[in-house]
Protein backbone atom coordinates (compact mmCIF):
# COMPACT_ATOMS: atom_id res chain seq x y z
CA UNK A 1 0.00 0.00 0.00
CA UNK A 2 2.89 2.33 0.81
CA UNK A 3 4.37 1.90 -2.65
CA UNK A 4 0.93 2.29 -4.21
CA UNK A 5 0.50 5.63 -2.41
CA UNK A 6 3.96 6.78 -3.44
CA UNK A 7 3.29 5.99 -7.11
CA UNK A 8 -0.03 7.77 -6.97
CA UNK A 9 1.37 10.79 -5.15
CA UNK A 10 4.35 11.23 -7.42
CA UNK A 11 2.10 10.83 -10.42
CA UNK A 12 -0.31 13.47 -9.08
CA UNK A 13 2.62 15.74 -8.31
CA UNK A 14 3.79 15.36 -11.90
CA UNK A 15 0.31 16.15 -13.19
CA UNK A 16 0.04 19.22 -10.97
CA UNK A 17 2.50 20.89 -13.33
CA UNK A 18 -0.27 20.58 -15.92
CA UNK A 19 -3.04 21.98 -13.76
CA UNK A 20 -6.02 21.96 -14.13
CA UNK A 21 -6.33 18.34 -15.18
CA UNK A 22 -9.46 16.45 -14.16
CA UNK A 23 -8.41 13.53 -11.92
CA UNK A 24 -10.61 11.47 -9.62
CA UNK A 25 -9.42 9.38 -6.69
CA UNK A 26 -11.59 6.98 -4.67
CA UNK A 27 -12.12 9.86 -2.20
CA UNK A 28 -13.58 12.14 -4.89
CA UNK A 29 -17.38 12.33 -5.07
CA UNK A 30 -17.67 11.68 -8.81
CA UNK A 31 -15.16 8.77 -8.81
CA UNK A 32 -17.81 6.04 -8.70
CA UNK A 33 -20.09 7.71 -11.23
CA UNK A 34 -17.24 8.08 -13.67
CA UNK A 35 -15.86 4.59 -13.00
CA UNK A 36 -19.28 3.06 -13.70
CA UNK A 37 -20.21 5.41 -16.55
CA UNK A 38 -19.20 2.96 -19.24
CA UNK A 39 -19.35 -0.32 -17.38
CA UNK A 40 -20.85 -2.31 -20.19
CA UNK A 41 -20.46 -5.75 -18.71
CA UNK A 42 -22.07 -6.21 -15.32
CA UNK A 43 -20.04 -9.39 -14.87
CA UNK A 44 -17.22 -7.11 -13.71
CA UNK A 45 -19.32 -4.62 -11.74
CA UNK A 46 -20.00 -7.37 -9.23
CA UNK A 47 -16.64 -9.07 -9.34
CA UNK A 48 -15.00 -9.03 -5.93
CA UNK A 49 -11.62 -9.79 -7.49
CA UNK A 50 -11.59 -6.64 -9.64
CA UNK A 51 -9.02 -4.20 -8.33
CA UNK A 52 -10.17 -0.59 -8.47
CA UNK A 53 -8.13 2.07 -10.21
CA UNK A 54 -6.23 4.37 -7.88
CA UNK A 55 -7.10 7.21 -10.22
CA UNK A 56 -9.32 8.11 -13.12
CA UNK A 57 -7.98 10.80 -15.40
CA UNK A 58 -10.46 12.40 -17.77
CA UNK A 59 -8.51 14.77 -20.02
CA UNK A 60 -10.42 17.54 -21.72
CA UNK A 61 -8.03 17.87 -24.64
CA UNK A 62 -5.05 16.27 -26.38
CA UNK A 63 -2.51 18.20 -24.32
CA UNK A 64 -3.95 16.87 -21.05
CA UNK A 65 -4.00 13.32 -22.43
CA UNK A 66 -0.39 13.81 -23.46
CA UNK A 67 0.58 15.00 -19.96
CA UNK A 68 -1.17 11.97 -18.44
CA UNK A 69 0.83 9.55 -20.57
CA UNK A 70 4.12 11.32 -19.87
CA UNK A 71 3.55 11.38 -16.08
CA UNK A 72 2.26 7.80 -15.94
CA UNK A 73 5.30 6.58 -17.77
CA UNK A 74 7.71 8.61 -15.66
CA UNK A 75 6.14 7.22 -12.47
CA UNK A 76 5.57 3.67 -13.71
CA UNK A 77 1.82 3.79 -13.28
CA UNK A 78 -0.02 1.28 -15.47
CA UNK A 79 -2.73 3.00 -17.52
CA UNK A 80 -5.87 1.49 -18.99
CA UNK A 81 -7.20 3.47 -21.96
CA UNK A 82 -10.97 3.69 -22.11
CA UNK A 83 -13.07 5.12 -24.93
CA UNK A 84 -16.53 3.53 -24.91
CA UNK A 85 -15.86 0.86 -22.25
CA UNK A 86 -17.34 -2.04 -24.26
CA UNK A 87 -14.34 -4.33 -23.95
CA UNK A 88 -15.78 -7.83 -23.44
CA UNK A 89 -13.30 -8.58 -20.65
CA UNK A 90 -13.34 -5.07 -19.20
CA UNK A 91 -9.65 -4.48 -19.92
CA UNK A 92 -10.22 -0.74 -20.37
CA UNK A 93 -11.20 -0.30 -16.73
CA UNK A 94 -9.97 -3.31 -14.74
CA UNK A 95 -6.88 -5.41 -14.32
CA UNK A 96 -6.21 -8.93 -13.10
CA UNK A 97 -2.96 -7.83 -11.51
CA UNK A 98 -2.81 -6.37 -8.01
CA UNK A 99 -0.52 -3.53 -9.07
CA UNK A 100 -1.92 0.02 -8.95
CA UNK A 101 -3.35 1.34 -12.18
CA UNK A 102 -5.20 4.37 -13.52
CA UNK A 103 -7.92 4.73 -16.11
CA UNK A 104 -7.32 7.25 -18.87
CA UNK A 105 -10.93 7.99 -19.74
CA UNK A 106 -11.25 9.62 -23.15
CA UNK A 107 -14.98 10.26 -23.07
CA UNK A 108 -14.44 14.04 -23.15
CA UNK A 109 -12.51 13.75 -26.41
CA UNK A 110 -15.52 13.32 -28.66
CA UNK A 111 -15.33 15.93 -31.41
CA UNK A 112 -16.44 14.93 -34.88
CA UNK A 113 -15.66 17.01 -37.91
CA UNK A 114 -17.20 15.82 -41.17
CA UNK A 115 -15.76 17.15 -44.44
CA UNK A 116 -18.23 15.91 -47.03
CA UNK A 117 -16.60 17.72 -49.93
CA UNK A 118 -13.34 15.85 -49.46
CA UNK A 119 -15.02 12.64 -48.33
CA UNK A 120 -13.58 12.18 -44.83
CA UNK A 121 -14.27 12.84 -41.18
CA UNK A 122 -12.00 13.38 -38.19
CA UNK A 123 -13.47 11.74 -35.15
CA UNK A 124 -11.99 11.61 -31.67
CA UNK A 125 -11.74 8.29 -29.84
CA UNK A 126 -14.15 9.17 -27.06
CA UNK A 127 -17.01 9.68 -29.52
CA UNK A 128 -19.48 6.82 -29.76
CA UNK A 129 -20.51 5.22 -33.06
CA UNK A 130 -24.04 6.65 -32.79
CA UNK A 131 -22.62 10.18 -32.62
CA UNK A 132 -20.44 9.51 -35.65
CA UNK A 133 -23.37 8.09 -37.67
CA UNK A 134 -25.62 10.98 -36.64
CA UNK A 135 -23.06 13.66 -37.58
CA UNK A 136 -22.29 12.02 -40.92
CA UNK A 137 -25.99 11.78 -41.77
CA UNK A 138 -26.53 15.41 -40.77
CA UNK A 139 -23.77 16.49 -43.10
CA UNK A 140 -24.85 14.35 -46.06
CA UNK A 141 -27.71 12.10 -47.13
CA UNK A 142 -25.40 10.06 -49.35
CA UNK A 143 -22.66 9.17 -46.91
CA UNK A 144 -22.46 6.61 -44.17
CA UNK A 145 -19.77 4.81 -42.18
CA UNK A 146 -19.23 1.04 -42.16
CA UNK A 147 -18.91 0.07 -38.48
CA UNK A 148 -20.73 -1.82 -35.72
CA UNK A 149 -24.42 -2.09 -34.93
CA UNK A 150 -24.43 -0.92 -31.34
CA UNK A 151 -24.39 2.92 -31.18
CA UNK A 152 -22.82 3.22 -27.73
CA UNK A 153 -19.56 1.50 -28.77
CA UNK A 154 -16.56 3.82 -28.47
CA UNK A 155 -14.72 4.79 -31.62
CA UNK A 156 -11.27 4.28 -30.02
CA UNK A 157 -11.60 0.60 -29.13
CA UNK A 158 -13.80 -0.34 -32.06
CA UNK A 159 -11.65 1.00 -34.88
CA UNK A 160 -8.37 -0.01 -33.35
CA UNK A 161 -9.62 -3.61 -33.06
CA UNK A 162 -11.40 -3.93 -36.44
CA UNK A 163 -15.11 -3.06 -36.32
CA UNK A 164 -17.79 -4.49 -38.56
CA UNK A 165 -21.50 -4.05 -39.19
CA UNK A 166 -24.15 -4.25 -41.87
CA UNK A 167 -21.95 -2.78 -44.63
CA UNK A 168 -19.19 -5.35 -44.10
CA UNK A 169 -19.78 -7.19 -47.38
CA UNK A 170 -19.69 -4.06 -49.50
CA UNK A 171 -17.22 -1.87 -47.60
CA UNK A 172 -15.15 -4.17 -45.38
CA UNK A 173 -14.48 -3.26 -41.77
CA UNK A 174 -14.17 0.12 -40.05
CA UNK A 175 -10.38 -0.16 -39.71
CA UNK A 176 -10.10 -0.51 -43.52
CA UNK A 177 -11.39 3.06 -43.73
CA UNK A 178 -8.89 4.78 -41.47
CA UNK A 179 -6.74 7.12 -43.54
CA UNK A 180 -4.91 9.03 -40.84
CA UNK A 181 -4.64 9.10 -37.07
CA UNK A 182 -3.37 11.25 -34.26
CA UNK A 183 -1.79 9.28 -31.44
CA UNK A 184 0.16 9.80 -28.24
CA UNK A 185 3.08 7.41 -28.15
CA UNK A 186 4.91 5.90 -25.16
CA UNK A 187 7.30 8.86 -25.15
CA UNK A 188 4.35 11.22 -24.78
CA UNK A 189 4.65 12.64 -28.30
CA UNK A 190 1.63 13.51 -30.42
CA UNK A 191 2.10 11.97 -33.85
CA UNK A 192 0.09 11.75 -37.03
CA UNK A 193 0.38 9.25 -39.86
CA UNK A 194 3.34 10.99 -41.44
CA UNK A 195 5.29 11.31 -38.19
CA UNK A 196 4.43 7.92 -36.67
CA UNK A 197 5.40 6.03 -39.83
CA UNK A 198 3.58 3.29 -41.72
CA UNK A 199 4.43 0.44 -39.32
CA UNK A 200 2.69 1.97 -36.32
CA UNK A 201 -0.12 3.26 -38.54
CA UNK A 202 -0.57 -0.32 -39.80
CA UNK A 203 -0.60 -1.75 -36.25
CA UNK A 204 -3.34 0.50 -34.87
CA UNK A 205 -5.85 -0.53 -37.54
CA UNK A 206 -6.90 -3.88 -36.11
CA UNK A 207 -3.99 -4.71 -33.81
CA UNK A 208 -5.75 -3.15 -30.80
CA UNK A 209 -4.72 0.40 -29.87
CA UNK A 210 -4.01 -0.42 -26.22
CA UNK A 211 -0.72 -2.16 -27.05
CA UNK A 212 0.71 0.85 -28.82
CA UNK A 213 -0.73 4.34 -28.15
CA UNK A 214 -3.99 6.47 -28.58
CA UNK A 215 -6.41 8.49 -31.01
CA UNK A 216 -7.73 8.28 -34.58
CA UNK A 217 -9.49 9.78 -37.70
CA UNK A 218 -11.65 8.15 -40.37
CA UNK A 219 -12.87 8.45 -43.88
CA UNK A 220 -16.59 8.14 -44.68
CA UNK A 221 -17.94 6.34 -47.70
CA UNK A 222 -20.98 6.95 -49.88
CA UNK A 223 -24.10 4.78 -49.48
CA UNK A 224 -27.31 4.96 -51.52
CA UNK A 225 -30.06 7.17 -50.05
CA UNK A 226 -32.40 4.19 -49.64
CA UNK A 227 -31.65 0.94 -47.92
CA UNK A 228 -34.01 -1.93 -47.13
CA UNK A 229 -34.09 -3.93 -43.92
CA UNK A 230 -35.88 -7.06 -42.76
CA UNK A 231 -35.98 -9.42 -39.82
CA UNK A 232 -37.87 -12.67 -40.05
CA UNK A 233 -37.98 -15.56 -37.62
CA UNK A 234 -38.16 -19.23 -38.47
CA UNK A 235 -38.76 -21.88 -35.83
CA UNK A 236 -37.46 -25.44 -35.90
CA UNK A 237 -40.94 -26.54 -36.97
CA UNK A 238 -40.68 -24.11 -39.88
CA UNK A 239 -37.41 -25.66 -40.99
CA UNK A 240 -34.90 -23.36 -39.23
CA UNK A 241 -32.14 -26.01 -39.33
CA UNK A 242 -32.43 -26.56 -43.07
CA UNK A 243 -32.56 -22.78 -43.68
CA UNK A 244 -29.44 -22.12 -41.60
CA UNK A 245 -27.69 -24.94 -43.43
CA UNK A 246 -28.47 -23.31 -46.77
CA UNK A 247 -27.71 -19.82 -45.44
CA UNK A 248 -24.09 -20.84 -44.80
CA UNK A 249 -23.31 -21.17 -48.49
CA UNK A 250 -25.72 -18.55 -49.85
CA UNK A 251 -25.17 -15.54 -47.56
CA UNK A 252 -21.38 -15.19 -48.15
CA UNK A 253 -21.90 -15.27 -51.93
CA UNK A 254 -24.85 -12.91 -52.32
CA UNK A 255 -24.60 -9.52 -54.04
CA UNK A 256 -22.16 -7.63 -51.84
CA UNK A 257 -24.73 -4.94 -51.07
CA UNK A 258 -26.70 -7.55 -49.19
CA UNK A 259 -25.95 -8.53 -45.59
CA UNK A 260 -28.13 -11.29 -44.13
CA UNK A 261 -27.07 -12.54 -40.73
CA UNK A 262 -28.70 -15.19 -38.63
CA UNK A 263 -29.11 -15.50 -34.87
CA UNK A 264 -29.82 -18.86 -33.29
CA UNK A 265 -31.37 -18.84 -29.85
CA UNK A 266 -32.37 -21.14 -27.03
CA UNK A 267 -36.03 -20.84 -27.96
CA UNK A 268 -35.42 -23.06 -31.00
CA UNK A 269 -35.58 -20.37 -33.66
CA UNK A 270 -33.34 -18.63 -36.16
CA UNK A 271 -33.82 -14.92 -36.83
CA UNK A 272 -32.68 -13.70 -40.25
CA UNK A 273 -31.74 -10.08 -39.91
CA UNK A 274 -30.69 -8.10 -42.96
CA UNK A 275 -29.75 -4.84 -44.60
CA UNK A 276 -29.62 -4.28 -48.35
CA UNK A 277 -27.98 -1.18 -49.82
CA UNK A 278 -30.76 -0.71 -52.36
CA UNK A 279 -34.52 -0.75 -52.79
CA UNK A 280 -37.09 -3.37 -51.78
CA UNK A 281 -37.94 -4.51 -55.28
CA UNK A 282 -34.37 -5.42 -56.12
CA UNK A 283 -33.90 -7.11 -52.76
CA UNK A 284 -36.97 -9.25 -53.36
CA UNK A 285 -35.65 -10.22 -56.78
CA UNK A 286 -32.28 -11.31 -55.37
CA UNK A 287 -33.80 -13.25 -52.49
CA UNK A 288 -36.34 -14.98 -54.75
CA UNK A 289 -33.52 -16.11 -56.99
CA UNK A 290 -30.89 -17.02 -54.41
CA UNK A 291 -32.73 -17.97 -51.26
CA UNK A 292 -36.38 -18.66 -52.09
CA UNK A 293 -36.68 -21.20 -49.23
CA UNK A 294 -36.57 -18.32 -46.74
CA UNK A 295 -39.97 -17.19 -48.04
CA UNK A 296 -39.27 -13.47 -47.78
CA UNK A 297 -42.34 -11.35 -48.56
CA UNK A 298 -42.52 -7.71 -49.63
CA UNK A 299 -44.34 -6.83 -46.40
CA UNK A 300 -41.34 -8.10 -44.36
CA UNK A 301 -39.11 -5.45 -45.98
CA UNK A 302 -38.86 -1.80 -45.01
CA UNK A 303 -37.22 0.92 -47.09
CA UNK A 304 -35.53 3.72 -45.21
CA UNK A 305 -32.49 6.01 -45.17
CA UNK A 306 -29.14 4.61 -44.04
CA UNK A 307 -29.28 6.54 -40.76
CA UNK A 308 -32.76 5.17 -40.05
CA UNK A 309 -31.35 1.69 -40.56
CA UNK A 310 -28.66 2.45 -37.94
CA UNK A 311 -31.52 3.24 -35.52
CA UNK A 312 -33.36 0.07 -36.59
CA UNK A 313 -30.36 -2.13 -35.78
CA UNK A 314 -29.77 -0.26 -32.51
CA UNK A 315 -33.27 -0.59 -31.07
CA UNK A 316 -34.92 -3.28 -33.27
CA UNK A 317 -37.85 -0.97 -34.00
CA UNK A 318 -38.94 1.09 -36.97
CA UNK A 319 -39.71 4.79 -36.80
CA UNK A 320 -37.67 5.80 -33.72
CA UNK A 321 -36.06 9.27 -33.82
CA UNK A 322 -32.45 9.35 -35.03
CA UNK A 323 -31.53 11.19 -31.81
CA UNK A 324 -31.59 7.85 -29.97
CA UNK A 325 -28.17 7.33 -31.52
CA UNK A 326 -26.84 10.12 -29.31
CA UNK A 327 -28.02 8.48 -26.11
CA UNK A 328 -24.92 7.19 -24.35
CA UNK A 329 -27.04 5.26 -21.88
CA UNK A 330 -29.24 3.72 -24.59
CA UNK A 331 -28.13 0.23 -23.86
CA UNK A 332 -27.81 -1.41 -20.50
CA UNK A 333 -25.78 -4.55 -20.61
CA UNK A 334 -26.19 -7.66 -18.61
CA UNK A 335 -23.41 -9.74 -17.11
CA UNK A 336 -22.23 -11.43 -20.28
CA UNK A 337 -19.50 -13.72 -21.54
CA UNK A 338 -18.77 -14.19 -25.23
CA UNK A 339 -16.48 -16.18 -27.48
CA UNK A 340 -15.93 -16.14 -31.23
CA UNK A 341 -15.06 -18.36 -34.18
CA UNK A 342 -14.69 -18.24 -37.94
CA UNK A 343 -16.23 -20.93 -40.14
CA UNK A 344 -14.55 -21.97 -43.37
CA UNK A 345 -16.56 -25.09 -44.33
CA UNK A 346 -20.34 -25.36 -44.02
CA UNK A 347 -21.44 -27.12 -40.84
CA UNK A 348 -23.40 -30.30 -41.65
CA UNK A 349 -27.16 -30.16 -41.12
CA UNK A 350 -27.15 -32.84 -38.42
CA UNK A 351 -24.54 -30.84 -36.47
CA UNK A 352 -26.72 -27.74 -36.73
CA UNK A 353 -29.53 -29.83 -35.31
CA UNK A 354 -27.26 -30.81 -32.43
CA UNK A 355 -26.34 -27.13 -31.93
CA UNK A 356 -30.00 -26.25 -31.53
CA UNK A 357 -30.12 -29.05 -28.97
CA UNK A 358 -27.18 -27.53 -27.04
CA UNK A 359 -28.83 -24.08 -27.09
CA UNK A 360 -32.28 -25.27 -26.00
CA UNK A 361 -33.47 -23.35 -22.93
CA UNK A 362 -30.08 -21.60 -22.56
CA UNK A 363 -29.52 -17.85 -22.27
CA UNK A 364 -27.10 -18.02 -25.20
CA UNK A 365 -27.43 -16.47 -28.63
CA UNK A 366 -25.27 -17.61 -31.51
CA UNK A 367 -24.81 -14.69 -33.91
CA UNK A 368 -23.57 -15.61 -37.36
CA UNK A 369 -22.37 -12.77 -39.61
CA UNK A 370 -21.72 -13.54 -43.30
CA UNK A 371 -18.32 -12.80 -44.82
CA UNK A 372 -17.47 -12.65 -48.55
CA UNK A 373 -17.79 -9.65 -50.89
CA UNK A 374 -15.21 -6.97 -50.13
CA UNK A 375 -13.72 -9.13 -47.35
CA UNK A 376 -12.40 -11.46 -50.07
CA UNK A 377 -10.65 -8.59 -51.89
CA UNK A 378 -8.38 -7.48 -49.04
CA UNK A 379 -5.25 -9.47 -48.22
CA UNK A 380 -4.75 -10.96 -44.74
CA UNK A 381 -1.77 -8.71 -44.09
CA UNK A 382 -3.18 -5.41 -45.40
CA UNK A 383 -3.95 -4.46 -41.79
CA UNK A 384 -3.55 -6.61 -38.65
CA UNK A 385 -7.17 -7.85 -38.85
CA UNK A 386 -6.49 -11.07 -40.81
CA UNK A 387 -9.92 -12.68 -41.26
CA UNK A 388 -10.53 -12.29 -44.99
CA UNK A 389 -10.98 -14.66 -47.97
CA UNK A 390 -11.71 -18.27 -47.10
CA UNK A 391 -14.03 -17.50 -44.21
CA UNK A 392 -17.73 -18.11 -44.76
CA UNK A 393 -18.89 -16.38 -41.62
CA UNK A 394 -18.08 -15.29 -38.10
CA UNK A 395 -19.78 -16.75 -35.04
CA UNK A 396 -20.22 -15.00 -31.75
CA UNK A 397 -21.46 -17.13 -28.83
CA UNK A 398 -22.99 -14.71 -26.36
CA UNK A 399 -24.42 -15.66 -22.96
CA UNK A 400 -26.34 -12.68 -21.59
CA UNK A 401 -26.72 -14.15 -18.07
CA UNK A 402 -23.16 -15.18 -17.41
CA UNK A 403 -22.90 -13.94 -13.82
CA UNK A 404 -22.67 -17.48 -12.50
CA UNK A 405 -19.73 -19.81 -13.01
CA UNK A 406 -22.04 -22.51 -14.35
CA UNK A 407 -22.96 -20.36 -17.37
CA UNK A 408 -19.37 -19.58 -18.22
CA UNK A 409 -18.38 -23.23 -17.90
CA UNK A 410 -21.26 -24.31 -20.14
CA UNK A 411 -20.14 -21.79 -22.77
CA UNK A 412 -16.60 -23.18 -22.61
CA UNK A 413 -17.88 -26.74 -23.13
CA UNK A 414 -20.00 -25.66 -26.08
CA UNK A 415 -16.99 -23.85 -27.57
CA UNK A 416 -14.95 -27.02 -27.19
CA UNK A 417 -17.65 -28.99 -28.99
CA UNK A 418 -17.69 -26.43 -31.83
CA UNK A 419 -13.93 -26.84 -32.31
CA UNK A 420 -14.41 -29.65 -34.83
CA UNK A 421 -16.48 -27.46 -37.19
CA UNK A 422 -14.61 -24.15 -37.28
CA UNK A 423 -11.26 -22.77 -38.45
CA UNK A 424 -8.16 -24.63 -37.32
CA UNK A 425 -4.42 -24.11 -37.16
CA UNK A 426 -4.97 -21.62 -35.60
CA UNK A 427 -8.56 -21.54 -34.44
CA UNK A 428 -9.33 -17.93 -35.26
CA UNK A 429 -10.96 -15.37 -32.98
CA UNK A 430 -11.98 -11.72 -33.34
CA UNK A 431 -10.06 -9.31 -31.13
CA UNK A 432 -13.06 -7.05 -30.56
CA UNK A 433 -14.90 -10.03 -29.06
CA UNK A 434 -12.11 -10.32 -26.54
CA UNK A 435 -11.84 -13.62 -24.71
CA UNK A 436 -9.33 -14.12 -21.92
CA UNK A 437 -9.94 -17.89 -22.10
CA UNK A 438 -7.61 -17.84 -25.12
CA UNK A 439 -4.73 -16.88 -22.84
CA UNK A 440 -3.36 -13.80 -21.16
CA UNK A 441 -0.24 -12.08 -19.93
CA UNK A 442 0.14 -12.95 -16.29
CA UNK A 443 1.82 -11.19 -13.37
CA UNK A 444 2.33 -7.52 -14.08
CA UNK A 445 1.25 -8.09 -17.67
CA UNK A 446 4.76 -9.02 -18.77
CA UNK A 447 4.99 -11.84 -21.26
CA UNK A 448 7.27 -13.11 -23.97
CA UNK A 449 6.65 -13.22 -27.70
CA UNK A 450 6.32 -17.02 -27.51
CA UNK A 451 3.84 -16.95 -24.62
CA UNK A 452 1.76 -14.30 -26.39
CA UNK A 453 1.59 -16.47 -29.50
CA UNK A 454 -0.97 -18.73 -27.81
CA UNK A 455 -3.70 -16.12 -28.12
CA UNK A 456 -1.94 -13.69 -30.50
CA UNK A 457 -2.02 -16.12 -33.45
CA UNK A 458 -5.74 -16.68 -32.92
CA UNK A 459 -6.52 -12.99 -33.21
CA UNK A 460 -3.89 -12.01 -35.77
CA UNK A 461 -2.71 -15.23 -37.48
CA UNK A 462 0.38 -14.31 -39.58
CA UNK A 463 0.30 -10.68 -38.50
CA UNK A 464 1.20 -11.42 -34.88
CA UNK A 465 4.94 -11.31 -35.50
CA UNK A 466 4.86 -7.96 -37.30
CA UNK A 467 2.73 -6.51 -34.48
CA UNK A 468 5.31 -7.69 -31.92
CA UNK A 469 8.14 -6.18 -33.99
CA UNK A 470 6.32 -2.84 -34.24
CA UNK A 471 5.74 -2.97 -30.49
CA UNK A 472 9.44 -3.66 -29.96
CA UNK A 473 10.28 -0.46 -31.83
CA UNK A 474 7.60 1.95 -30.57
CA UNK A 475 7.24 0.74 -26.98
CA UNK A 476 10.19 -1.52 -26.07
CA UNK A 477 9.67 -0.85 -22.36
CA UNK A 478 6.10 -2.21 -22.60
CA UNK A 479 4.44 0.87 -21.08
CA UNK A 480 1.17 0.27 -22.95
CA UNK A 481 0.17 -3.11 -21.63
CA UNK A 482 -2.70 -5.19 -20.43
CA UNK A 483 -3.65 -8.86 -20.10
CA UNK A 484 -3.74 -9.27 -23.87
CA UNK A 485 -1.40 -6.60 -25.15
CA UNK A 486 1.22 -7.48 -27.75
CA UNK A 487 4.62 -8.26 -26.16
CA UNK A 488 7.60 -6.37 -27.62
CA UNK A 489 9.84 -8.38 -29.95
CA UNK A 490 13.21 -6.72 -30.03
CA UNK A 491 15.64 -7.60 -32.77
CA UNK A 492 19.21 -7.20 -31.53
CA UNK A 493 22.14 -6.06 -33.56
Binding-site ranges for ligand FDA (CB under 6 A)? 40, 80-88, 91-92, 106, 125, 148-150, 153-154, 156-158, 160-165, 209-210, 214-215, 333, 432, 482
Question: Parallel, antiparallel, or unpaired for β 78-82 and 23-24?
Answer: unpaired
d(CA 411, CA 247): 24
For ligand FDA, the closer of residues 137 and 352 by Cβ is: 137
For ligand FDA, the closer of residues 284 and 486 by Cβ is: 486
For ligand FDA, the closer of residues 7 and 273 by Cβ is: 273
For ligand FDA, the closer of residues 145 and 356 by Cβ is: 145
223 and 169 Cβ atoms separated by less than 8 Å = no
Q: At its nearest, how many Å lie between ligand FDA and the CB of residue 492?
A: 28
92 and 103 Cβ atoms separated by less than 8 Å = yes
418 and 396 Cβ atoms separated by less than 8 Å = no
User: How many C-beta neighbours within 10 Å does residue 290 have?
Assistant: 17
Q: At its nearest, how many Å lie between ligand FDA and the CB of residue 366?
A: 15
Q: At its nearest, how many Å lie between ligand FDA and the CB of residue 28?
A: 21
d(CA 163, CA 209): 13
Q: At its nearest, how many Å lie between ligand FDA and the CB of residue 118?
A: 24
Tell me the angle at which helices 240-250 and 349-359 cross, rounded to the nearest 10 degrees.
120
For ligand FDA, the closer of residues 157 and 452 by Cβ is: 157
For ligand FDA, the closer of residues 153 and 220 by Cβ is: 153
User: How many C-beta neighbours within 10 Å does residue 201 have?
Assistant: 20
Burial of 282 (0-12, 13-18, 19+ CB in 10 A): middle
CA-based radius of gyration for the chain: 22
d(CA 251, CA 291): 9
- Which residues have C-beta within 8 Å of that of residue 154, sequence separation ≥ 6? 38, 82, 83, 84, 85, 86, 106, 107, 125, 126, 127, 128, 129
For ligand FDA, the closer of residues 80 and 110 by Cβ is: 80
Q: At its nearest, how many Å lie between ligand FDA and the CB of residue 53?
A: 13
Q: At its nearest, how many Å lie between ligand FDA and the CB of residue 284?
A: 26
Q: At its nearest, how many Å lie between ligand FDA and the CB of residue 474?
A: 13
Q: At its nearest, how many Å lie between ligand FDA and the CB of residue 241?
A: 25
User: 339 preceded by cis ω (within 30°)?
Assistant: no
Question: Parallel, antiparallel, or unpaired for β 55-57 and 101-105?
Answer: parallel
For ligand FDA, the closer of residues 158 and 234 by Cβ is: 158
Amino acid sequence: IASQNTTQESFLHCLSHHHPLPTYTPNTTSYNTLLNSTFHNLRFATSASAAEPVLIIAPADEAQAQASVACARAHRLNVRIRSGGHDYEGLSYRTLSDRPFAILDLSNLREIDVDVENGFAWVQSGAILGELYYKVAQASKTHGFPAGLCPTIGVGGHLSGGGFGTMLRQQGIAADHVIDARVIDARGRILDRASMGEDLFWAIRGGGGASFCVIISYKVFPVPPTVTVFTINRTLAQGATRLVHKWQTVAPRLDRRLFVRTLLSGSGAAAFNSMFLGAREELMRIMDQRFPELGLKAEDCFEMSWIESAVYFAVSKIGQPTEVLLDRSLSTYPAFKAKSDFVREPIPEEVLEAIFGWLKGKTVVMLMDPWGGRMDDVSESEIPFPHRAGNLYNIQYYDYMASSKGHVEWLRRFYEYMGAYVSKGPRRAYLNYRDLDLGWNEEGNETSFEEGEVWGRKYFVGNYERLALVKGVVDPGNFFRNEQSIPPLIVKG
